[in-house]
Amino acid sequence: MTMNSQGRPTRAESAGTTEEASDTPTLTGNRGLMIRESLIFEKDAFGRTGVDLPEPKPRANRLGGLERREGIGLPGLSEPETMRHFVRLSQKNYAIDMGPFPLGSCTMKHNPRLNEKMARLPGFADVHPMQPEATVQGALELIHVLARWLKELTGMPAVAMSPKAGAHGELCGMMAIKAAIEAKEEAATRVRVLAPESAHGTNPATAVQCGFRVDAIPADKTGRVDLNALKEKLGEDVAAIMVTNPNTCGLFEHDIRDIADAVHAVGGYFYCDGANFNAIAGKARPGDLGVDAMHINLHKTFSTPHGGGGPGSGPTVLSEALAPFAPVPFIVERNGRFHLIERREAAKSAGAEGAESFGRMTAFHGQMGMFVRALSYMLSHGADGVVRAAEDAVLNANYVLARLRSELTAAFDGYCMHEALFDDRFLKGTGVETIDFAKAMIDEGFHPMTMYFPLVVHGAMLIEPTESESKAELDKFCDALLSLARRAKAGEVAAFKAAPRHAPLRRLDETSAARKPVLRWTPPQPAEAAE
C-alpha cells in the first residue's frame, strides 16, 4: 500500500485480491436480509407512480410553443417501492442510535429523545423566519436564553448565534478579528495567523479564506503547543493564533494563559477552536483563559444530531474586544420584549454588541431546531448535569486509554481529556496498517475511530467514547480492539487485508471517491435503434 508521510494510505488496496475476499456470492447480491439496493434512477419504470392524479381538464395553451417536449427524468416508482428504497438506504447508514460512534473530535454522543420532542413542538417546528417579531416572541426568547447559557458557560460577554456549523463559526470569529484589525487600520500589516500542526483542517482553511497567511507551530514532546517555538514566531504581523483546547490529541493546553498573553502582547487575537468544549464545559471558562473568539459546536457538546450531513450549529462567543464587530442579526431584550437587530445601522444604535458589525453571515437567524435541542439538553441536565457530562466524558476516555494501553501504543504519556490518541507503533512489523485495523473493526460491529488525524502522530487512531457509553459497552469495544491487536501481532495479516468481510461492500477506493467523486448518474444509452 502506498503511504504518505503521516502513514495515511494514498490509494486503496484493490479489493478481492486475497483468497478470503471471494466469499460465496449470492445470486441476488443480497447478504442475509441486507438487501442490495440500486440507485433510484435504475429502478425507474415508465408510467409507474405513487399517486393517482385526475387527468387535467384541457386548457388553452398559453406557452406560445415553449412547453417542454420531453419528460423531466424523474424516476417512476410506486409508493411501496419508494418506501422500501429509502428504508433500505437508511439501514445502510450506521448511526449513533445503532451503536457506539467513537470518532475522535466529533463528539458523537446520544441525542436525547426529549430534545427531539421539544424541537417538534409546533411553536418551534413551524415558525417561519419571516414572521413578524410580535408572533415569534417565544422563539426569540429561546434563542436569547440559550445565548445566556453559552455566555455563562464560556465566561464571554457576547455570542453570535447565526453561524451554522463549527467551520462557519470559525469564519465568524476570524471575520470579527479581521474587522477589528481593519478598525485599527492594521489590515495591511497584520497578515499572519499561527496554528498548531495538529489543528483541524478547518482552522487554516478559515484563516486563508479571510485573506491571512498560515504559519504552523510545532508540537512539543508532550503533544502540546511548543510555547518557545510559538514565541519565536510572534511579531507585529501576527493577526491571530488559532488553538484548539483541549487539543486534537485529547490533551489540555496547560500553557494556554501564557499563549494568550504572548499573542495579546504583540497585538494579536486568540481564536480558540471550541469543538472539544465537551471536555471542559462547566469546569473551565474560555473567557478566563484569555480567549477572544470561540465557536461552540452545538452538534457536538450539546447533543444535537450530526453525522450524515444534518444541520450543525456553531454559535461563536466573542470577547469585549470583538463584541462590537459581531454579525447581525442578534437579539436584544427591552422591557420583556425581544427584538431582532437585523441591519448594521440598527446595530449601531442598539448598544455595544454589534455596534460595528461586520455584516451578515447567513440569510436568517441560525438553526432554530438545533437551538431548541441544545437548550433542552442544558435545561434537562442543569448546571450540575452539564459538569457531570464533561467529567464522565473524560472518565470514559481515560478508561479506554488505560484498557487499550496494554496492546496498543498510546501516542503520549499520562492522562487524556475527552479522547484517547494511539499511533501505529504497535503494528510495526506486522504488515497491518491503521486502515486495515479500522476495517477489521467493522467486521466486529464497531464503527472505526478517527484515523490518520491528527497529523502529528504516525498512523493515528483517535477514540472519543463520549459520556453516553456504559462501562459494559466500553468493555466490549476494548475487548474487540485488544483481540484485534493480538491477532495483528500473531501474523494474521491476510485476514486484516481482506476486511471488512461482513459489510455489504468490501474495501472501497476511498481516496478516489473523495478526489474524483461521481456525483451524476448518466442513463445507459438505449440500444441503437434499428434503421
* Contact status, residue 374 vs residue 116, Cβ threshold 8 Å: no
Q: What is the smallest separation between the CB atom of 225 and ligand PLP, expressed in angstroms?
A: 14
In whole angstroms, the minimum distance from the beta carbon of 232 to ligand PLP comes to 25
Distance between CA atoms of 248 and 199, rounded to whole angstroms? 7
Q: Which is nearer to ligand PLP, 115 or 278 (CB)?
A: 278
Distance CA 271, CA 356 (A): 19
Give the nearer residue to ligand PLP in terms of CB position, either 101 or 496: 101
Cβ of residue 208: shortest distance to ligand PLP, in angstroms?
Answer: 15
Contacts of 116 (CB under 8 A, 6+ apart): 373
CB of 216 to ligand PLP, least distance (A): 16
- As a whole number of angstroms, the distance between CA 319 and CA 324 comes to 9
Smaller CB distance to ligand PLP: residue 244 or 430? 244
- The DSSP string of 230-272 is HHHH--TTEEEEEEESS-TTS---TTHHHHHHHHHHTT-EEEE
CA gap 149, 170 in Å, rounded: 20
Residues that bind ligand PLP (CB under 6 A): 105, 165-167, 200, 202, 244, 248, 273, 275, 297, 312, 314
Residue number, 206 or 409, with CB nearest to ligand PLP? 206
* Closest distance of CB 200 from ligand PLP, Å: 3
- To ligand PLP, the closest distance from the beta carbon of 243 in angstroms equals 10
Least distance between ligand PLP and beta carbon 88 (Å) = 28
Question: If DSSP codes are grouped into helix, strand and coil, which group holds residue 44?
Answer: coil
Least gap, CB of 276 to ligand PLP (angstroms):
6
Alpha-carbon distance 85 to 79, whole Å? 10
Single out the residue of 393, 374, 382 nearest to residue 466, CA to CA. Answer: 393
Name the minimum Å distance from CB 195 to ligand PLP. 11
- Whichever of 162 and 202 has its CB closer to ligand PLP, that residue is 202
Nearer to ligand PLP, 296 or 350 (CB): 296
Residue nearest to ligand PLP (CB): 166
To ligand PLP, the closest distance from the beta carbon of 49 in angstroms equals 39
Please give the sequence-ordered ranges of beta strands (E in DSSP) within 296-387, or none if there are none.
316-318, 330-334, 337-341
- The CA distances from residue 516 to 216, 333, 528, in Å, are 29, 50, 30
How big is the CA angle at 162 (ends 158 and 164), to the nearest 5 degrees?
A: 125
Contact criterion met (CB below 8 Å) for 465 and 521: no
Nine-digit cell string for 447: 464503527
Q: Do 9 and 3 touch, CB atoms closer than 8 A? A: yes
C-beta closer to ligand PLP: residue 37 or 170: 170
Q: Is residue 316 within 8 Å of residue 295, measured between CB atoms?
A: yes
Q: Sort strands 293-295 and 238-244 into parallel, antiparallel or unpaired.
A: unpaired
At position 474, the amino acid (one-letter code) is L
Closer to ligand PLP by Cβ: residue 314 or 366: 314
Quote the CA–CA distance of 277 and 390 in Å, as a whole number: 9
Closer to ligand PLP by Cβ: residue 142 or 249: 249
Residue closer to ligand PLP, measured from CB, 256 or 495: 256
Residues in the chain: 531
